[in-house]
Amino acid sequence: MTIQSNVSLKALHTFGINVQARQLATFQDQDSLAEILAAYPDGHRLILGGGSNILFTQDFDGLVLKNEVMGIETIAEDDNYVYIKVGAGENWHRFVQHCIRQDLGGVENLSLIPGCVGASPMQNIGAYGMEIKEVFQELEAYHLGDGALQAFSLNDCAFGYRESVFKNKCKDQFVILNVTFRLRRAPIFNTTYGAIEQELERMGVKDLSVKAISDAVINIRSSKLPDPAKIGNAGSFFKNPVVSAAAFAKLSAAHPGMPAYPAEQEPYLSSVSGDQGEAEDVAGDAGAPMKLAAGWLIEQCGWKGYRKGDAGVHERQALVLVNYGNATGKEIYDLSQEILESVQKKFGVTLEREVNII
């Protein structure tokens, strides 16, 4: 067990903010995690995976535990499915590529999402017509209170739109160690969302495959979203807000063409690093709550491409706040606050930050 002191976290989160942790330790399995916690039973703690959904606004005066539980293993098979158990510290896209190489279907639409596997059930990540809950089998998590290993089924996780039990009832109580996914031997292709069909046509694809869809998604995402390795960001910074049918009727009358969709018909927009704001303008049940496209609201307020110092709003996606090099977390947070206030003033709609603020 090695505990480092006064360690920079700049390289450990995708915003690339130059902050320090008072202490940093890594764990590779249940035993090493238990050993660290036994040595440091009290105090301020933070579990860190890929750091793709977090904004540090100050140094962390406590112990950061970096999840490095690795491994990708097929644990069961049947006529229809292959069950793969993945360490929570594994890179998400690496796991997706593993499935693509085996021609297993279910996660191809989730290609190129940054972050680690452990974050996928916490966020119920989704993109381009698919959510994690559709391929989720179970996970194992370490209880920080009693040190017990607990299994969570699909129902136990209480998945919702970018939500799970780990962000609500069980928040800060568990450390996810591994996740088991159920992949299809005979893939069911989903190409109807966004620009996937157009991209496949541009690529000259005649015969659909999980690799072709994955490649198309990678092309689309790369053309619209900043690479965290080049420009610091945490993907979509805000959630898409839900308003009542009556509120939407007033908003759409005042702002013709406002994109929205019935809240119960999720378009599976990505929140770890996706294309929120591309919701279609559809007509739903007259009494149904409607979900608005946060990116569109922000863009209408004139923020797209805005930059102040090294803190800014991405030029191609207004939902993504960026660090162009040396922005502080406070500068990015303050920018997000200005955006919140401007959207509230113009539309009367309250946005909610999706990124965790530390």
Does residue 154 contact residue 136 with C-beta atoms inside 8 Å?
yes
DSSP 112: T
Does residue 34 contact residue 177 with C-beta atoms inside 8 Å?
no
Q: Is 354 a catalytic residue?
A: yes
Question: Which of 236, 271, 273, 336 is the catalytic position?
Answer: 236
Q: How far apart are CA 50 and CA 117, in angstroms?
A: 9
CB atoms under 10 Å from CB of 204, counted, come to 7
Tokens 């933070």 identify what position? 46
Q: Is 236 a catalytic residue?
A: yes
Cα 204 versus chain centre, distance: 30
How is residue 196 written in tokens? 């996937």
Q: How far apart are CA 184 and CA 326, in angstroms?
A: 44
Question: Which of 45, 162, 182, 221 is the catalytic position?
Answer: 162
Q: How far apart are CA 107 and CA 135, in angstroms?
A: 8
Does residue 74 contact residue 82 with C-beta atoms inside 8 Å?
yes
Q: How far apart are CA 298 and CA 292, in angstroms?
A: 11
Residues identified as active-site: 162, 236, 354
